[in-house]
């Protein structure tokens, strides 16, 4: 399983780039993946079309967009690119605009990059590391931050509790994290939720599955709850299970609150 630095070489990083709008920002990120042999030009168009179809759900945290689309023949190998903008651009997100960082992912399947997504979620969720990434003067310096061990993720850590899902937990519970394609932002959210479950001591009772909107509708009956963005929640509609909206996919505090609400803790 490839890690973050395998998927994001120095050649895939550009800093202080100018873009006129969100679509151009995605095209710049896509162009880097074309240059490094990760995708063809068609995949860049697919990433833009994903936002046009599903809305700006890819803006996963304040100032951060995670551009991606489904695995397709346009993906030659799994890889990523990193574009820090000189001036922020609007994606149309209700709370996380404007965007200064566009990270793009092209995945050949839904599993090979799971560890990399977990690493990236932890890095962006740590204020000190995020600040270091935001101020790195060169691609080489930024890549050095990515390769370092880095500080542990921070945030409002929930208090550990001896409570469990209780009588409801006669069998393993499932929570679905949902995005448009099931290979990008849902994995960010899955990682953050699993961090919270680990802190609670509930990982033995709840499994987390990252999935796409179409699959989520079919799997909803198996889940205790679905956790997603506001845009994807609107697409899902009424699935017969609680749908919890998260604005910042890297925030353990926000995910903690959603989990507490789900289980009335």
| Token pair of 162 as six digits | 């001896």
Query: Rounded distance, CA 104 to CA 107, Å?
Result: 10
224 CB neighbour count, 10 Å cutoff: 16
Task: Spot the catalytic one: 68, 93, 113, 173.
Answer: 68
Short-list 215, 252, 264, CA closest to 122: 252
Whether the CB-CB separation of 179 and 185 falls below 8 Å is answered with yes
Q: C-alpha 27: how far from its chain's center?
A: 19
Residues 6 or more apart whose Cβ sits within 8 Å of residue 67: 26, 29, 30, 47, 50, 51, 58, 102, 103, 104, 105
Whether the CB-CB separation of 21 and 150 falls below 8 Å is answered with no
Q: Assign residue 166 a region: left if phi > 0, alpha if psi is -120 to 50, beta otherwise? A: left
Active-site residue flag, 68: yes
Angle (CA) 100-104-109 rounded to 5° is 155
Q: Which residues are catalytic?
A: 68
């Amino acid at each position: 399983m490839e890690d973050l630095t395998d998927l994001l070489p120095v050649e895939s990083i550009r800093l202080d780039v100018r873009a006129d709008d969100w679509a151009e920002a995605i095209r710049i990120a896509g162009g880097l993946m074309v240059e490094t042999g990760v995708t063809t030009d068609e995949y860049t168009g697919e990433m833009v079309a994903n936002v046009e179809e599903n809305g700006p759900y890819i803006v996963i945290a304040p100032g951060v967009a995670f551009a991606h689309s489904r695995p397709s023949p346009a993906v030659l190998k799994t890889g990523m690119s990193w574009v820090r903008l000189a001036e922020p651009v609007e994606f149309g997100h209700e709370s996380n605009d404007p965007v200064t960082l566009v990270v793009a992912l092209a995945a050949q399947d839904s599993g090979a990059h799971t560890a990399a997504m977990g690493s990236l979620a932890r890095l962006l969720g740590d204020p000190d590391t995020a600040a270091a990434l935001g101020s790195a003067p060169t691609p080489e310096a930024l890549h050095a931050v990515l390769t370092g061990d880095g500080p542990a993720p921070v945030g409002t850590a929930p208090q550990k509790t001896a409570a469990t899902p209780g009588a409801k937990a006669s069998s393993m519970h499932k929570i679905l994290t949902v995005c448009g394609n099931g290979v990008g932002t849902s994995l960010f959210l899955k990682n953050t939720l699993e961090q919270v479950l680990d802190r609670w001591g509930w990982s033995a009772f709840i499994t987390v599955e990252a999935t796409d909107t179409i699959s989520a509708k079919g799997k909803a009956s198996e889940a205790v709850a679905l956790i997603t963005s506001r845009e994807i929640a609107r697409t899902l509609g009424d699935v017969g299970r609680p749908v919890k909206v998260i604005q910042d996919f890297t925030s353990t505090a926000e995910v903690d609150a959603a989990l507490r609400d789900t289980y009335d803790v």
